[in-house]
Amino acid sequence: MSTVHQEHGTEERILAAARRVFIRKGMAGARMQEVADEAGINKALLHYYFRDKQRLFEGVFKGSADQQFSCIWNSFTDSPDLFDAIERFVAAYMERMLEDPLLPLFIAQEMNRDPEGLRAFIDRGESSRQRFLRLVEEARTKGSIIDIEPRELLVNMMALCAHPFVARPMLTHIHGMNDEAFRRMILKRRKTVPEFIIRSIRA
Amino acid sequence: MSTVHQEHGTEERILAAARRVFIRKGMAGARMQEVADEAGINKALLHYYFRDKQRLFEGVFKGSADQQFSCIWNSFTDSPDLFDAIERFVAAYMERMLEDPLLPLFIAQEMNRDPEGLRAFIDRGESSRQRFLRLVEEARTKGSIIDIEPRELLVNMMALCAHPFVARPMLTHIHGMNDEAFRRMILKRRKTVPEFIIRSIRA
DNA sequence: CGCAATATTAACCATTTGGTTAAAGCAACC
DNA sequence: GGTTGCTTTAACCAAATGGTTAATATTGCG
């Protein structure tokens, strides 16, 4: 934003409201009026701060993607031990996503709707990702883990972390869980998922 | 459908077209006109066969949910060996989803949009699910696998199967894959995922 | 204060979109 | 051939929706 906007916190209020609405309903299902209502302002003011729906969405998506990607990676920035890194990553992911359980599904949904346009937003944690892959590669050559492709391990780890959030409505229904039970399940997984992974890869 | 509809395959054509559009765009993003175009018919004819968007959607969702749930479970109906059951399930899931890679995300998306209303549609594979859980429980008491909660193992297995499809746009971008490379990755996982799981749970 | 710039709103507009209607095709059947 | 009942269509409609405009309120400042 090059414009000055010497505002009264309004832009932040709008963004926060938009975030809630977009994450709940998705770009296609979200309504500008609903965002305005949730922010407690006039609809025209949305267009004053963010020219159109697309730009408002991008403002929201950028922050959300950062939250899911770069933010998480920083959790294990300087861990030299792979097992320790895995534990930290999983714990950071679970705890962070418990605050916004719809985030993983939202990201997946929107990336699927407009891969070309949103591609740029998810490149943030790239360096940390590379570091993780190297950590796996080292452990592999060192022989402290079995022979597994680093990328594959990463995908598996992400899968075990993200899926319960993506599939939450199914899980809660099938297992007859309420929100609190879901939360407990995630907190349990914070412990069991790293164990599950490490059991599988330990040499 | 209690009405007779002595049609010319039109209802099926509509459903197939609706399926493609809804799965691609989701309920909120799909347009009745687009479905009509894709089916090569007039928009009013949609409402002749399926009264409104909601019912057309339900027609699509019912079939899709069956495909993802009950259909898969039948793969290992009568396998008495847990490890064998896991291998079969994963293989069936991967192969089936390769035909409709957007299906898992679609189901998750819509279940999140309207959990109450769609809840009923996902109860299909319940008996097979129970059988799987019992198989795990047996193996656990028998001591052929480590001490793991059956439900947890099931969630992990589903996670490892479904996540690559849900996160496909991210994966293909980050790893610089095209559709064919994605397909190869899934086919590789058909082998490595069961191995990953079994390594982790084998006593 | 008074003025300029920014912030906010109510009313309005054009387009999109789900859905309807009434008429036209078209098949079978007498 | 015409009548009857299902199928298909073009034209139409009302509501919803993204976006604009012009006027009003508010703030900072000389």
Nearest beta carbon to residue B175 from set A151, A164, A166? A151
**Local confidence band at A2 (pLDDT 50, 70, 90 cut-offs):** very low
What pLDDT is recorded for position A157?
98
Q: Are residues B81 and B147 in the same domain?
A: yes
Top residue of A70, A110, A173 to mutate, by most chain B CBs within 10 Å, is: A173
Q: Are residues B91 and B178 in the same domain?
A: yes
CA B55 to each of CA A188, A197, B49, B58, B62: distance values in angstroms, whole numbers, following the listed order: 39, 43, 10, 5, 10
User: Could you read off the pLDDT of B24-82 as tens digits, one per residue?
Assistant: 999 999 999 999 999 999 999 999 999 999 999 999 999 999 888 876 777 777 788 99
Q: Are residues B85 and B113 in the same domain?
A: yes
Q: Are residues B56 and B34 in the same domain?
A: yes
Of A170, A10, A23, the residue nearest A105 (C-alpha): A23
Whether A167 is covered by a domain: the verdict is yes
A98 touches chain B (CB under 8 A): no
B202 φ/ψ angles, rounded to the nearest 5 degrees: -60, 135
ipTM value of the model? 0.93
Whether A4 is covered by a domain: the verdict is no
Could you tell me the CATH number of the domain that includes residue B22? 1.10.10.60
> Which of A60, A78, A94 represents a domain boundary (last residue)?
A60
Q: Are residues B158 and B177 in the same domain?
A: yes
CA A88 to each of CA A122, A132, B50: distance values in angstroms, whole numbers, following the listed order: 21, 12, 51
Whether B2 is covered by a domain: the verdict is no
> Which of B18, B36, B60 represents a domain boundary (last residue)?
B60
Of A117, A194, A36, A25, the residue nearest B27 (C-alpha): A25
If one counts every other C-beta atom within 10 angstroms of the C-beta of residue B203, the result is 10
Q: Are residues B146 and B192 in the same domain?
A: yes
What is the percent of chain A where pLDDT is above 90?
A: 85
Q: Are residues B113 and B37 in the same domain?
A: no
Residues 112-131 of A with CB under 8 A from B: 112-113, 115, 119, 122, 126, 129
Q: Are residues B56 and B91 in the same domain?
A: no
Average pLDDT over residues A80-100: 94
Please list every residue in chain A whose beta carbon sits closer than 8 Å to the beta carbon of residue B170: 107-108, 111, 122
Q: Are residues A102 and A27 in the same domain?
A: no
| Cβ contact A60:A18 at 8 Å | yes
User: Could you read off the pLDDT of B85-108 as tens digits, one per residue?
Assistant: 999 999 999 999 999 999 999 999
Q: Are residues A51 and A77 in the same domain?
A: no
Whether A1 is covered by a domain: the verdict is no
Q: Are residues A32 and A132 in the same domain?
A: no
Q: Is the Cβ pair A196, B156 closer than 8 Å?
A: yes
The residues that bridge with A145 in the sheet, in sequence order, are: A202
> Under DSSP, is residue A40 helix (H, G, I), strand (E, B) or coil?
coil
A158 touches chain B (CB under 8 A): yes
Q: What is the mean pLDDT of chain A?
A: 93
Q: Are residues A52 and A96 in the same domain?
A: no
| Count of domains observed in chain A | 2
| Cβ contact A74:A128 at 8 Å | yes
Whether B45 is covered by a domain: the verdict is yes
Give the range of the structural domain holding residue A106, as residue numbers without chain letter. Answer: 69-201
Could you tell me the CATH number of the domain that includes residue A183? 1.10.357.10
Whether A134 is covered by a domain: the verdict is yes
A187 touches chain B (CB under 8 A): no
Whether A27 is covered by a domain: the verdict is yes
User: Could you read off the pLDDT of B170-187 as tens digits, one per residue?
Assistant: 999 999 999 999 999 999
Q: Is the CB of A174 under 7 A from strand C?
A: no
Q: Is the CB of A192 under 7 A from strand C?
A: no
- The pLDDT of residue A71 is above 80: no
Whether B154 is covered by a domain: the verdict is yes
**Local confidence band at A97 (pLDDT 50, 70, 90 cut-offs):** very high
Q: Is the Cβ pair A174, B129 closer than 8 Å?
A: yes
B151 touches chain A (CB under 8 A): yes
